[in-house]
Structure 1
Amino acid sequence: MDLIQTLALALLQGLTEFLPISSSAHLILLPVLLGWEDQGLAFDVAVHVGTLLAVVAYFRVELRRMLGDWLGSLAGGGQTADSRLAWAVGFGTIPVGLAGLLFADAIELHLRSPLVIATTTVLFGLLLWWSDRGGARRRNEYSLNWRDVLVIGCAQALALIPGTSRSGITMTAALMLGLSREGAARFSFLLSIPVILLAGGFETHELFQQAGPVDWRALGVGTLVSAVSAYLCIHFFLKLVARIGLTPFVIYRLLLGAYLFWVFA
């Protein structure tokens, strides 16, 4: 990989992992549209590590409280708002983990085409717009009950389909349940931590089964760029989402879907 490809893909991963526009779709489409060779599994692992470092660093204070209170609840110390949120993140990850075990191979084989991405980009973009327009937006992430967690967790499992957007579908479900835009985004970002760990672990396992040279410069640059861009993306998205809403991202998804239909249909 040359430096331009490394920077472009790492920046793309860092930005799109947390915006409701689908990182998997963009990482599939950019090499196809520009005629680049596949970046390889090692690079995918590196940029996933970068985005994981970003979200953990951004929510480090909340995560410290959540982990401490969660451990306290295991020791019989009772539940707190932070321990309940930690349990919600854990249980909300189960559906996507099960779906990945059952359907990952079929999705990889049949659902990575540009036309599938175009369809999901448009459909789930419209669903995001509908939920943002109609949601009550009165609750925060600490108000989630187990029914809410189940709904959001099952919605997250749909993000295995390229073009859906993990952050987009979880925010859509949270908004439908009455969470504010900030609350929906914050829970979506917290929920990304175990998902990125699972995806990175799976990719690392696959990587160890492959033989070949490793471009350590590309991996280092990819990790750094994806981490910095993801951190900035989280920061500015949470600052702006209450004011600008999600309509700009819906418009982007519709334009991208229309372009893909035009090019590949």
Structure 2
Amino acid sequence: MDTVQLVVLALIQGLSEFLPISSSAHLILPSQVLGWSDQGLAFDVAVHAGTLFAVLIYYRSTLKELLFAVTRRNDAVASAGALREIGCLGIATLPVMLVGFLFMEFIDAHLRGLTTIAWATLGFGILLGVAYRFRGSDGDEQSITRVDHALIIGLAQALAVIPGTSRSGITITAASFLGYNIATSARFSFLLSIPVIGGALLLMLVTQTNALDAGLIFETVTAMAIAGISAYMTIAFFVGLVTRVGMMPFVVYRVLLAVALLLVASAT
């Protein structure tokens, strides 16, 4: 992989991982237009690690509060609330892990075509716009501690194994339909990305023991840094932006992106 390809794809991964616009749709477009070859497993490991570090750093205070609350014996209410939120994050993680384990080979073989990604980008983008109408009143972010709601969001997240869906997009969609405001939906979605991205990263390292080539250390570290920094900036940008302008700009963008993908697909 040459330097330009590495920088562009790492930036795309970092910028699109946490926005509701589908990182897979954005990664396939330059590859199709410019004829770039597959970036390789080492690159995938690096950018996943970078985005994981980004969300861990951004939410470090929240994670610290949750962990401290669990061990706060003199405040049973705070401890129970923290345990419930952590439990909800765990419950919401299970469906995507199960679907990924059972169907990933089928998805890799049949659902990674450009046309499929384009229609998923379009369909789930429109669904995001519809869900935005059902969101709760704007306000500060809150914890999601209802087990049934966590399960519904987790089941929705399982759809993100279909390229073009957007993990953050579909989880925010589900939370909005359940009546949560955007700040709360985004918070749960980003915290939920920690076990999901961490699990995907661990799976890649376990199943592909040769993922990290000693000769690619510089490229790996560079891709990790670019993806991590851009992902951190994206989280901060997104949280601030959606509280001011809402989700509709992302819906419009997804529709336009889907049209572009369909045009590329029809020309190939």
TM range (shorter): over 0.9
Any idea what the Cα deviations from partners look like across 1:75-98, whole Å, max 9, x if unmatched? xx6743322221111111011111
In the TM superposition, what are the counterparts of 1:41-190 in structure 2 within 5 Å? 41-70=41-70, 79-137=79-137, 140-190=141-191
**Counterpart in the other structure of 1:195:** 196
Q: CA deviation at 1:213?
A: 6.4
Q: CA deviation at 1:129?
A: 0.3
**Counterpart in the other structure of 2:33:** 33
Residue 235 (1) aligns with residue 236 (2):
yes
Q: What amino acid sits opposite 1:51 in the alignment?
A: T
Residue 245 (1) aligns with residue 246 (2):
yes
Any idea what the Cα deviations from partners look like across 1:176-212, whole Å, max 9, x if unmatched? 1111111111110000000001111111123315696
Any idea what the Cα deviations from partners look like across 1:212-248, whole Å, max 9, x if unmatched? 6642221111000111100010011111111111111
Residue 12 (1) aligns with residue 12 (2):
yes
| Distance in structure 2 (CA, Å) of the matches to 1:220 and 1:212 | 12
Q: CA deviation at 1:143?
A: 4.3
Task: Indicate the SS of the match to 1:134.
Answer: coil
TM-score, length basis structure 1: 0.93
Task: Indicate the SS of the match to 2:143.
Answer: helix
- Alpha carbons of structure 1 residues 138 and 42: separation in structure 2 relative to 1, 3 Å: same
- Alpha carbons of structure 1 residues 143 and 212: separation in structure 2 relative to 1, 3 Å: closer
Task: Indicate the SS of the match to 1:37.
Answer: coil
| Distance in structure 1 (CA, Å) of the matches to 2:48 and 2:161 | 15
Any idea what the Cα deviations from partners look like across 1:237-265, whole Å, max 9, x if unmatched? 11111111111111111011111112213
Asked whether the 8 Å contact 1:118–1:163 carries over to 2, the reply is yes
Structure 1 unmatched runs, 5+: none
| Distance in structure 1 (CA, Å) of the matches to 2:252 and 2:206 | 37
- Alpha carbons of structure 1 residues 256 and 206: separation in structure 2 relative to 1, 3 Å: same
TM-score, length basis structure 2: 0.92
Asked whether the 8 Å contact 1:47–1:223 carries over to 2, the reply is yes
Q: CA deviation at 1:67?
A: 2.3
Asked whether the 8 Å contact 1:42–1:214 carries over to 2, the reply is no
Aligned residues: 263
Asked whether the 8 Å contact 1:85–1:141 carries over to 2, the reply is no
| Distance in structure 1 (CA, Å) of the matches to 2:161 and 2:68 | 31
The RMSD of aligned alpha carbons is: 2.0
Any idea what the Cα deviations from partners look like across 1:105-134, whole Å, max 9, x if unmatched? 110110000000011000000000001123
Structure 2 unmatched runs, 5+: none
Asked whether the 8 Å contact 1:10–1:47 carries over to 2, the reply is yes
